[in-house]
Structure 1
């Protein structure tokens, strides 16, 4: 057996396939917690036998989660490859352009200078569970129980009834799709899956629903045959690829021809819009699954990029267009990461421990004021002074997003059936539009015709509720979705099938691998207080609780107070949410400084939030934003909008 090479960027690189760190074609994580961490993990294990973390006082709950995250780093990070050679080396992938030492490469290369391919476009998604426990299913396993039947019984809104998430607003729903479009995008094969439609009562238009399979990566190791890897067409970094693209070639097409570093926008009078190609598709980094929510956020952060460019140009008139662009992109990406960490997450996980913990992820337990006033009190401790600037670390496994991470972000229930639009100044009701009329090529329609301004749309998103992430709450149009490429899909069926196809464990196995309690009966799964749901699940899954899909189980389990999604999904979230920050050289690593970002850019990231971004580009929103709390929670309602049920039913009262 050969000796391991020295650790690089937090990853132990083995030099022989037969190393003890490779079992079943699986590179095992090399991360081991220190003595103090093991003591903390052990102490909270004992406490949690009596009191779960979410019932502890806020600060103790936050520390409980911090030690849980360390435990998850040890047991729930796995590479998608059987050999570390896949990540490249400085020799095999030399950095020939010094520009990318201090700037992001659009395809994600060179974030790590030691492992230059890590996290770049085209690399495999990793796993939160050992690969040999995530095998490719047989065709019988793929279809058992029938995924369309599961969608009909547990996804469809019963009698069209919309279940609102009353602690959030529709902007929160748009935001998470905006972010996931930055993080992952599977490659599609030319081979189709024919899903048989259950007999009796199903109103699908054909006898089969035809979906393209996910394309597996080439087999680089014998283990890849039984447990295929799947490539991520996006970069895995928090680098704004939904705006800037996941290749340098795409990025160049989105920039102006002027040496100003700006992104292209069409201006109509005083209003800026995303430009369109000849087919009417928006010119932006990622334009699939398009609707007015994406139109709003892509436009907003293209505007924000251009405002950052103006600030940098004023402070540094000698900068070239490329230099301005590079710095503005760094600032814009870091700002989005900060907004997601300290604003969106505490809105959807409204629990005291999460309020403390997510703020500490960015600022540390010493808090924002002290960190901004004197800088980091601890050079390396992410707990004391936050993750940004604490030192990039891969925790024994090359960075990637994971198939299980993709799975827990299946949140189509957030989408309503209609959106009620109101004037952003007076609160006057303008229109209520079915969501299908605001998708794909129609996403700009109310904005372009002038019936609704961008400010009106953002205000309306601020007071409309999204759907709750629970059973029987998928919007009807997403269960009969006609896409521009001619496909007709039920996204409830798609969500179930994609998890199965990609080897995501079923609910009980999923929880077992996260060291959570595992239900032995359907009554236990639903918490013992919903016998009707328990019986429906038992009927659908042939009395075998081990067959319940991860998504259905997560929708069925009791919710922690204040949470917008299940504790099962949350376990993946607390591991991967911090990993996206901690692995990134431009956020956690040596590039987090004024030299890389510029003094003006670094201050922009530290000082700004979502309210600042909205108020900068749509000043008329400032008064209502000032009187509202978290920007992803319901805003103050103005005038006539108070009299409408639009914030609860997404339609005006009769």
Structure 2
């Protein structure tokens, strides 16, 4: 029965793709928005948005976002019932009317479980186009073969740098995705927001999916050294509707909100264990060898205690530490301003401000760095400040009460566009950016004029080893040295042939050994993410008719892709195709992936009560609101590591390569990823 339903869904998708796939909108744009959509469709038939003048291109992007909201927001559930109601999930503690709940509940008071821990991922495409694959679809072409041919980084000199970014930008996006999503895996049963009967059902039947690991077939002559390559299945949610059989839903074990859950945890019980036991609402930090409370707490095995500690390496150590310090600085500010407050009151406001600050930094600093296009510089600033700009908004407040275009999304009013908020499977897919990680990191001493100290393979900074660099016995680096080093090292480019080799032979704490290139392809297929051409078709993008058109005229790559995919361009995986297409000027990743980004980047802000809704001094306090509005990543770094201020003062964007100190310019290591001047 399952196979029949899957085949029927797959055949329907194939028929639709041959008939120029039609998707009905989930909400209706206004008359003027529809006029703009039709006008720019005509314009883009002649000139793509990224070749228009910057301001006009930004307007074009705003119109594209409206169209994407209409056609590319779809719920992971067949009804809104799992989102809860005011009567089924009343706010029993009035604290959460003005504060975030670690479980993610009560962000929406109308749909209390929306976006909370344990809710399903949504989709950017209708579920009939995202069916569970058949065995043939899952393994064709062989994902390990594709990883070997299109992802493997050459051993000697194979690193392809992204020269407009620094390594801090790579660490930042992993830091953020750890806040947003984590799929439930076999043996992982978070029960937040669900009835006990559903949990029992999941434990006993798994929608017919066997609990056995994927035994990934290895192509002939493969050199995989571990005999077999096994991978746990993503665990489907319980069957709540017949549509879940052909197109299963998958649950997010993190909250979907921009709520700092990577630091604070996605459950209140976890959050409470991370708070220091004193009345000021601070996060627990332990002292370094000089006595400064700066290190994240560890368990008896040396593993970090934080909200989300998977995939841990020195980059996560640095950013988690930085924003734990920022939280504690906020607590000090609030204690001084409001001496009569309880620890909970201080903690809640500090978390609220810290989360909003991270959302702002991502919107107006990280994104313009990785998408360094004139239209994006305007559009991302407008997402936060509106077209009236930062200076006028700070001086006069919101010029328009409700227009996100004029005065930005924060404070413009919450809108779900007819679909309950969630992050989507396709959003997860386009954030597969393992290529950003280099093989080695060159470290430099700020107090020594930028002199080279050591070059460390990234795989020696994983898990419990992430702290060793900061101990006298392990290198004696300071966090100042580490941030400076990340500021002048390049990350990898998001393209073919650039996965770090240690991630293609990665031992994980659950006992598995993985090739992450293979895993990335397999996970997309397993979860029903459409292949590249259908992905573009469903976004109303033109679909390449040949491999050479896909690669922008790169004949050698086109031939390799054609050979690997047996000449069938419809089989090309979304990830491989996105890595193969030519990029718009200034872009760090593909336009195909960017279309999902246009939609979801603003949705995370627009759906959030604490950003689009209660964006005011009453919620944040006068002091907290000013902190968010007047603070950027430079300020955060300089506040906690003031030795960086002289370097940062000369850098326009913290996520672009920093100016180097004199001694750093002299370094010419064989394996360095440092920019050459």
Superposition TM-score tier, normalisation by shorter sequence: over 0.9
Q: Name the structure 1 match of 2:78.
A: 82
Secondary structure at the counterpart of residue 214 of structure 2 = strand
Query: 1:419 touches 1:646 (CA, 8 Å); kept in 2?
Result: no
Matches of residues 320-469 of structure 1 in structure 2 within 5 Å? 320-425=342-447, 426-449=449-472, 451-469=476-494
The answer as to 2:171 corresponding to 1:174 is yes
Matches of residues 230-269 of structure 1 in structure 2 within 5 Å? 230-268=250-288, 269=291
Q: Quick one: distance in 2 between partners of 1:134 and 1:557?
A: 23
The answer as to 2:608 corresponding to 1:612 is no
Q: Quick one: distance in 2 between partners of 1:277 and 1:469?
A: 35
Q: In structure 2, which of residues 624, 647, 650 is the aligned counterpart of residue 624 of structure 1?
A: 647
Change (3 A) 1:489 1:536: same
Query: 2:49 touches 2:57 (CA, 8 Å); kept in 1?
Result: yes
Query: Which deviations, in whole Å up to 9, do the C-alpha atoms of 1:469-511 show, x marking residues without a partner?
Result: 0000000100001122221110000000000000000000000
Query: 2:75 touches 2:123 (CA, 8 Å); kept in 1?
Result: yes
Secondary structure at the counterpart of residue 232 of structure 2 = strand
Matches of residues 524-539 of structure 1 in structure 2 within 5 Å? 524-528=549-553, 530-539=554-563
Secondary structure at the counterpart of residue 587 of structure 1 = helix
Query: Which deviations, in whole Å up to 9, do the C-alpha atoms of 1:577-628 show, x marking residues without a partner?
Result: 0000000000001x21111111100000000000000000000000000011
Consecutive unaligned residues in structure 1, runs of 5 or more: 1-26
How far the C-alpha of 1:639 sits from its partner, in A, is: 1.3
Change (3 A) 1:58 1:208: same
How far the C-alpha of 1:645 sits from its partner, in A, is: 4.5
Change (3 A) 1:564 1:648: farther
Q: Name the structure 2 match of 1:186.
A: 183
Query: 1:196 touches 1:207 (CA, 8 Å); kept in 2?
Result: no
Matches of residues 76-115 of structure 1 in structure 2 within 5 Å? 76-115=72-111
Q: Name the structure 2 match of 1:10.
A: none
How far the C-alpha of 1:649 sits from its partner, in A, is: 4.0
Secondary structure at the counterpart of residue 610 of structure 2 = coil
Query: Which deviations, in whole Å up to 9, do the C-alpha atoms of 1:327-375 show, x marking residues without a partner?
Result: 0000000000000000000000000000000000000000001101110
Query: 2:161 touches 2:673 (CA, 8 Å); kept in 1?
Result: no
Q: Name the structure 1 match of 2:133.
A: 137
TM-score, normalisation: structure 2: 0.91
Query: 1:644 touches 1:652 (CA, 8 Å); kept in 2?
Result: no
Query: 1:645 touches 1:652 (CA, 8 Å); kept in 2?
Result: no
How far the C-alpha of 1:159 sits from its partner, in A, is: 3.7
Q: In structure 1, which of residues 492, 498, 504 is the aligned counterpart of residue 529 of structure 2?
A: 504
RMSD: 1.4
Q: Name the structure 2 match of 1:595.
A: 618
How far the C-alpha of 1:629 sits from its partner, in A, is: 1.4
Query: 1:29 touches 1:396 (CA, 8 Å); kept in 2?
Result: no
Q: In structure 2, which of residues 39, 59, 62 is the aligned counterpart of residue 43 of structure 1?
A: 39
Q: Quick one: distance in 2 between partners of 1:353 and 1:534?
A: 30
Q: Name the structure 2 match of 1:163.
A: 160
Query: 1:464 touches 1:647 (CA, 8 Å); kept in 2?
Result: no
What is the number of residues matched between the two proteins? 624
Q: Name the structure 1 match of 2:515.
A: 490
Query: 1:162 touches 1:649 (CA, 8 Å); kept in 2?
Result: no
Change (3 A) 1:94 1:652: closer
Q: Quick one: distance in 2 between partners of 1:641 and 1:436?
A: 23
Structure 1, 85-94 or 400-409: larger mean CA deviation: 85-94
How far the C-alpha of 1:446 sits from its partner, in A, is: 0.6
How far the C-alpha of 1:189 sits from its partner, in A, is: 1.4
How far the C-alpha of 1:652 sits from its partner, in A, is: 11
Secondary structure at the counterpart of residue 208 of structure 1 = coil
Q: Name the structure 1 match of 2:216.
A: 195
Q: Quick one: distance in 2 between partners of 1:344 and 1:595?
A: 29
